[in-house]
Amino acid sequence: MRSAKSKPRLNELRTPARSKQNLAPNERDPVQVYCRLRPMSRESDHSCIKIVSSNTVLLTPPATAISYRNENNKIMKYTFKEVFPPETSQAEVFDKVALPLVEGLIRGKSGLLFTYGVTGSGKTFTMTGEPQNCGLLPRCLNIIFKTINDYQAHKYVFKPDKMNLFDIQSEAEAMLERQQELHKFKSGKKNNSNPDLAMSSTDITKVEGVNEDNQYAVFVSYVEIYNNSVFDLLEEGPPLTKNLPAKIIREDAAHNMYVNGVTEIEIKSAEEAFEAFYLGLKRKRMAHTNLNAESSRSHSVFTIRLVQAPVDEMGEAVIQNKDVLKVSQLSLVDLAGSERTNRTKNTGQRLKEAGNINKSLMTLRSCLELLRENQLFGAKNKVPYRESKITHLFKNFFEGEGQVRMIVCANPRAEDYDETLQVMRFAEMAAEVEVAKPQITDIAAEIGLKSGRRKANRLFNTAREYIMRPDAKELELDLGLVYSLGPDFPSLKISSSQEDHIIKELKAHLEMRLNRREILKRSKAVKDERLRSALLDLEKDSLEVRSENVSLKGQLAAAERRVRALEERLTATENASLSHQRKLNEMTEYTSSLKRELQEKELLLSQNKLDKEKQKKILEKRYNHKIAAEHEKAKEICSESERLRNVIEDKENRLRIIAEALKIERDDHTEPVPKMMGDVGAQTSARDFTPGSTPRALPAHMLTPFSSAQQTKDTQSSRRGVAVANPRHKRSLSADGRGWIEHAPKNIVPMGTVLKPSIGHSKHVNKLTNVKDIANSKVSKYCLVTQAQDTDGEFEMTMYKGDVVPTCGGGAQVIFNDVEMLKQFSPTRQSNSARLSGNTCARHSGKRRDTGGCSPPQTPSNTSKKQRVDDDEIIHMN
Ligand SMILES: Nc1ncnc2c1ncn2[C@@H]1O[C@H](COP(=O)(O)OP(=O)(O)OP(=O)(O)O)[C@@H](O)[C@H]1O
């Protein structure tokens, strides 16, 4: 727990929010409602409002009014704090209504002043006024600056913290910001001032309540509430014509409502304030209605916030602590005019605006009604402040504390009567609402600061300046201002014995002076003590400084010696450096000459390169068409080779067919020859024979020699003397002496002639079933022997020959490259070719590419075009 005597902590100094219900009557103030009547536009017009006293008006309904019929021509009486007749001057209204609010603002109390009334009743006239006849707002600004002018803090010492409170900056920080601002303004500041608005207000004087030991700063903001959205009229950026972004209303740490992110401009003079106000005015949405060409369609709220903080003990700078700040605000609200939409004949946007205006005014009205009920009858109605932006923004005035004043403006003309009546009723009701009186605390006194600090500082500065002057003789200062025992003695003249009160007054005065003397003595003792300790500190410091001085002198002498030595070295080094510098210059010159040479050569090189490239291009052009012709030829060759490849593929396919035929034939050869060669042949026509098929019949003269080996021998012996074999007819290609594998049917028919060539080193197989027979290092050639009868019934023997090529899988493949056909003609045969009888040997050979496997050769008839008949083809005539 904090002891009773200890000083309060700074953050405990703020006044806590007080509960309205528990307030004593003297702690509350009613909303003060004034009525101002505007002059009639035409003198001939009938006025419905009559002022019966300084605070009462009578409303007489005209025959055209609705209330004339509804309320039986009833005259209504309304009472206000004061009624201002049409001829009342602006200054008078200001003095009565706004001046007390300004005074409160200076003392740290917040205030709210709004004008309320029917459209065209003079709200804006009252609030803003006209050139040369300024209204409440300019007058408030003028008087505030006149009052605080000598006590203003430097700009940016107080800075809004964006959460409705303020930070305090040091003088240095503030100066830096001022310089930045100066720089910004030099680069283009727009002047928004309006000479008309800098209204003459010479009659304005100062108000009481300024604390000389405080520093002050004024901040203004200007918002507009339009269609229940809040817009910042001082926001930089968007052009005036475009829609401004809407702002939201928030509650700060002290439960005060504020417009979040609103622009607050620090103002140092009334002129600056007018400038800001004029900028906001330009942004205001003005709309024209049938009723009033200048009617404002929005509520506008101009807020002046006054920040004050005590100066420190020295009376110079503000205490750097946020908690000593006191912020008070005066909000000047020009409400949009209330109107009946059916009378204004508004449509579209205007109708929506009118609806919103009326809705917000209705909310204001119902909020005040509920508040009044709560206050008067202890009801616990929930007040719907949030239903409208205007009531939400000023919630803390009604729930917290402050001074609230309202000026009801009225136009006494008959056309406005019904609406004016509503306004009067509202005003009467609002006057019954009470608001807690603001409590003022002297924070400086609470933290032990004495008053008169700034004055003392001023005197001190004057004295110092005076002493510095050469002609200073005697300083005459009114120290009484600082050490004053209070005001002068009251009048002590006692003229009768009954005047005891004078004695009492004198006694009180003396006691006060004694008290003050005591305080001053204590203060002096404290200051003496401080001075003594300061002098002692000074003496101690002085001694330390002296001894330090002696040691420093010794150090200085040693340092000087070192410096001299260093200087000598430096001179020597400089000389050396000079000579090096000369050399360096020479070398630099040499280097630069080399560089120049290099550059020239590089230039030459690049020139050469360019020339070569040019030549290359010329040659390329020249030979391009030749290259194109070559390309054409290449294409032709390609297409030819493609065609040949197709032919080869075609041949391969045919060979494959032959191979299949051969396979069938091989299978047929397994049948016994005698059966094949029997008398069946006599029954079978020779024309039934198809190439490649097994011979089914042979002519009778052919059968004998093939009947058996014995018969062959007989035939050979019967033809003794005839040269049936000539060694010269041996096929050279067949008998090349390499290892052959001869693949012939088992029962091959002996031809009985020399036709079949002998193959040296050959191995005979009937069936090629064992791979070793062919995949054998000794075998490099392959010969397939077939026998058949041709279409003429002649017997022919074909030998397909090829190279055995081993494959990578361990097997072998045969590439056929030669075909030999041996044909035997019967000498008895009657045909065109019958004159030639005996054996014919034709040899066909054709080189072909590797088929990649063992594929049968083409038959001679199929390859007749490509195959040639060898020169050494022999025909044996028997
Ligand atoms: N007390 C007055 N003395 C002289 N002229 C006045 C007075 N009151 C209003 N007028 C004039 O009446 C006209 C309308 O006044 P003003 O614009 O102030 O009305 P308003 O209530 O603000 O209207 P709205 O609600 O439409 O904004 C203005 O031309 C103004 O000069």
Q: Which residue has the higher pLDDT, 341 or 632?
A: 632
pLDDT greater than 70 at residue 10: no
**The residue type at 425:** R
212-232: per-residue pLDDT in tens? 889 999 999 999 888 778 888
763 Cα–ligand 1 center, Å: 138
Confidence of residue 835 (pLDDT cuts 50, 70, 90): very low
Which atom of ligand 1 sits closest to the CA of residue 289? 26
Residue closest by Cα to atom 14 of ligand 1: 120
pLDDT bin (cut points 50, 70, 90) of residue 204 is low
Q: Which helix (H) or strand (E) holds 141?
A: helix 136-148
- SS3 of 312-329: CCCCCCECCCHHHCEEEE
pLDDT at position 179 over 60: yes
Question: What is the whole-number distance in angstroms between the Cα of residue 564 and the centre of ligand 1?
Answer: 89
C-alpha–C-alpha distance, residues 358 and 814, integer Å? 112
In angstroms, what CA-CA distances link 425 with 77, 377, 408?
10, 20, 11
Phi, psi of 70, rounded to the nearest 5 degrees? -70, -35
Burial 383-415 (b: 16+ CB within 10 A, else e): bebebbbbbbbbbbbbbbbbbbbbbbbbbbbbb
C-alpha span between 541 and 860 (Å, rounded): 134
Q: What does the pLDDT look like over 750-766, one tens digit per residue?
A: 665 555 666 767 888 88
**pLDDT digit string, tens, across residues 608-619:** 999 999 999 999
Q: CB neighbours of 44 closer than 8 A, spacing ≥ 6? A: none
Closest-lying ligand 1 atom to the alpha carbon of residue 36: 1
Tell me if 874 sits within 8 A of 729, measured CB to CB. yes
Q: Ligand 1 centre and the CA of 295: distance in Å?
A: 9
Q: How many angstroms does the Cα of residue 110 sit away from the middle of ligand 1?
A: 27
- Report the C-alpha dihedral over residues 718, 721, 725, 727, rounded to 10 degrees: 150
Top pLDDT among 200 and 504 is at 504
Which long-range contacts (C-beta less than 8 Å, at least 24 apart) are formed by 773-779? Answer: 773/741, 774/741, 774/804, 774/812, 774/814, 775/806, 775/810, 775/811, 775/812, 776/739, 776/741, 778/739, 779/739, 779/740, 779/741, 779/804, 779/812
pLDDT confidence of residue 68? 66
Per DSSP (E only), the strands in 169-239 are: 214-226, 229-232
Residue 117 near residue 410 (C-beta atoms within 8 A): yes
Q: What is the mean pLDDT of the chain?
A: 75
Q: Do 472 and 504 touch, CB atoms closer than 8 A? A: no
Q: Where are the alpha helices (DSSP H) in 768-807?
A: 771-774
pLDDT of residue 476: 59
> Amino acid letter at 408?
V
Is residue 233 within 8 Å of 284, Cβ to Cβ?
A: yes
Token pair in block for residue 438: 């603001």
Instruction: Write the CB contacts of 672 (distance below 8 Å, at least 6 apart in sequence).
Output: 747
- pLDDT exceeds cutoff 90 at 536: yes
Task: State the average pLDDT over residues 559-568.
Answer: 94
* Alpha carbon distance 40, 642 (integer Å): 114
CA 123–ligand 1 middle distance (angstroms): 6
pLDDT, one tens digit per residue, over 133-143 is 889 999 999 99
CA 297 to chain CA centroid, Å, is: 38
More confident residue, 203 or 336: 336
Q: Is 117 annotated as a binding residue?
A: yes
| DSSP β-ladder status, 403-410 and 111-117 | parallel
Q: What is the 3-state secondary structure (H, E, C) of 800-845?
A: EEEEEEECCCCCEEEEEEEEEEEEEECCCCCCCCCCCCEEEEEEEE
The Cα 174–Cα 215 span in angstroms is: 14
Q: Give the list of residues 6+ apart from residue 265 with CB closer than 8 angstroms, or none.
A: 219, 220, 221, 234, 272, 276
Would you say residue 8 has pLDDT above 80? no
Neighbours of 27 (CB within 10 A): 14
CA distance 89 to 130: 12
Query: Which residue's structure tokens are 């001023």?
Result: 458
Q: Whole-prediction pTM value?
A: 0.55
In whole angstroms, give the CA distance from residue 41 to residue 74.
25
Q: Does residue 502 carry a pLDDT above 70? A: yes
Per-residue pLDDT, averaged over 9-21, amounts to: 43
Pocket perturbation via mutation, ligand 1, pick of 36, 38, 226, 415 by most ligand atoms within 8 A of CB: 38
Joined together, the tokens standing for residue 506 give 């004198």
Domain span(s) for CATH 3.40.850.10 in the chain? 26-181+189-445
Residue 710, number of CB atoms within 10 A of its CB: 8
The pLDDT of residue 874: 31
- Of the chain, the percentage scoring pLDDT greater than 90 comes to 25
- The arithmetic mean of pLDDT across residues 858-869, rounded, is 36
In the chain, residues under CATH classification 2.60.40.4330 are: 668-720+728-877
Centre of ligand 1 to C-alpha 338, Å, is 14
Q: According to the model, what pLDDT value does residue 306 have?
A: 94
**460 falls in which pLDDT band (50, 70, 90)?**
confident
| Residue-level pLDDT at 486 | 66
pLDDT at 316 over 90: no
Residue 56 backbone phi and psi in degrees, to 5: -130, 140
Band (282; pLDDT cuts 50, 70, 90): confident
Range name among 68-72, 493-497, 687-691 with the lowest pLDDT average: 687-691
Strands 166-168 and 158-160: antiparallel
Q: Is 60 exceeded by the pLDDT of residue 348?
A: no
Nearest residue to 273 via CA among 134, 428, 77, 414: 134
What is the DSSP annotation of 641-668? HHHHHHHHHHHHHHHHHHHHHHHHHHHH
Tens-place pLDDT, residues 624-666: 888 888 899 999 999 999 999 999 999 999 898 888 888 776 6
- For residue 498, the number of C-alpha atoms closer than 13 Å in the C-beta half-sphere is 0
Token pair of 428, please?
A: 């009467």
Average pLDDT (383-396) is 87
CA dihedral 669, 671, 673, 679 (to 10 degrees): -120
What's the gap in Å between 403 CA and the centre of ligand 1? 25
pLDDT for the residue numbered 313: 79
DSSP 3-state of 718: helix
pLDDT at position 685:
35
Region 157-179: what's the mean pLDDT? 88
Q: Give pLDDT tens digits for 704-745.
A: 333 333 443 444 444 443 334 344 444 444 444 468 888 888
The alpha carbon dihedral of 255, 256, 259, 260 has a sign of negative
Amino acid at 724: V
- Enter the tokens of residue 168: 């305090």
Average pLDDT of the segment spanning 596-617: 94
User: Has 122 been labeled as part of a binding site?
Assistant: yes
Residue 123 annotated in ligand binding:
yes
DSSP assignment string, 450-499: PTTHHHHHHHHHHHHHHHHSTT-------GGGTS---SPPPP----STTT
Collapsed DSSP state (helix, strand, coil) of residue 592: helix
Q: Are strands 326-334 and 299-310 parallel, antiparallel or unpaired?
A: antiparallel
Closest ligand 1 atom to residue 127 Cα is 18
Contact 795, 834 (CB under 8 A): no
Backbone φ and ψ of 134, nearest 5°: -70, 155
- d(Cα 224, Cα 300) in Å, to the nearest integer? 4
Which of 210, 214, 166, 447 is CA-nearest to residue 311? 214
> Within 13 Å of residue 193, how many CA atoms lie on the same side as its CB?
11
HSE toward the beta carbon, residue 660, CA cutoff 13 A? 5
The bridge status of strand 403-410 relative to strand 326-334 is unpaired
Nearest to 34 by CA among 119, 109, 103, 122: 122
Residue nearest to atom 16 of ligand 1 (CA): 122
CATH-assigned architecture of domain 26-181+189-445 = 3-Layer(aba) Sandwich (3.40)
Ligand 1 atom nearest residue 125's Cα: 18
Contact 834, 843 (CB under 8 A): no
* Highest mean pLDDT, choosing among 62-71, 243-252, 556-565, 817-826: 556-565
The reply, when asked if residue 120 is annotated as ligand binding, is yes
Atom of ligand 1 nearest to the CA of 117: 21
State the Cα–Cα distance between residues 247 and 223, nearest whole angstrom: 9
Lowest mean pLDDT among 479-493, 495-509, 720-734: 720-734
CATH number for domain 668-720+728-877, candidates 2.30.30.180, 3.40.50.20, 3.40.50.970, 2.60.40.4330: 2.60.40.4330
So what's the pLDDT on residue 191?
A: 53
Distance (Å) from CA 421 to ligand 1 centroid: 18
* Choice between 87 and 731, residue whose per-residue pLDDT is larger: 87
Closest among 22, 351, 320, 32 to 168, alpha carbons compared? 320
Tell me which residue has tokens 């001057």: 89
Ligand 1 pocket test: which of 47, 115, 124 has the largest number of ligand atoms within 8 Å of its C-beta? 124
Atom 15 of ligand 1: nearest residue by CA position: 122
Selected residue with higher pLDDT from 756 and 437? 437
Confidence of residue 111 (pLDDT cuts 50, 70, 90): very high
Please give the pLDDT value at position 715.
Answer: 40
- Residue range 818-838: average pLDDT? 61
Ligand 1 pocket: which residues have CB below 6 Å? 38-39, 86, 117, 119-125, 292, 294-296, 336-337, 409
Ligand 1: atom nearest CA of 86 is 1
Q: How far is the CA of 424 from the centre of ligand 1 (A)?
A: 18
Two tokens at 337? Answer: 């005019």
Q: How far does the centroid of ligand 1 lie from the alpha carbon of residue 133, in Å?
A: 13
Predicted confidence band at 442 (pLDDT cuts at 50, 70, 90)? confident
CA gap 746, 761 in Å, rounded: 19
**Residue 349 banded pLDDT, cuts 50, 70, 90:** low
Between residues 784 and 848, the one the model is more confident about: 784
Is 268 in a helix, a strand, or coil? coil
Rounded distance between C-alpha atoms, residue 337 and residue 521, angstroms? 63
Question: Which SS3 state, helix, strand or coil, does residue 526 take?
Answer: helix
What ipTM was predicted for this assembly? 0.97
Task: Kindly report, residue by residue over 687-701, the tens digit of the pLDDT.
Answer: 333 333 333 333 333
Q: What is the band of 681 on the pLDDT scale with cuts at 50, 70, 90?
A: very low
Using alpha carbons, select from 690, 703, 682 the residue that is nearest to residue 751.
703
Task: Please give the Cα distance from 734 to 725 (Å, whole number).
Answer: 16
**CA 793 → CA 751, 786, 789, 840, distances in Å?**
15, 16, 5, 14
Residue environment code for 238-270, b if the CB has 16+ CB neighbours within 10 A, otherwise e? eeeeeebeebebeeeeeebbbbeebbbbbbeeb
pLDDT, mean of residues 499-522: 84
Residue of 34, 116, 125 to test ligand 1 pocket, by largest number of atoms within 8 Å of CB: 125
Q: Whose alpha carbon is nearest atom 9 of ligand 1?
A: 122
Mean pLDDT along residues 588-595: 95
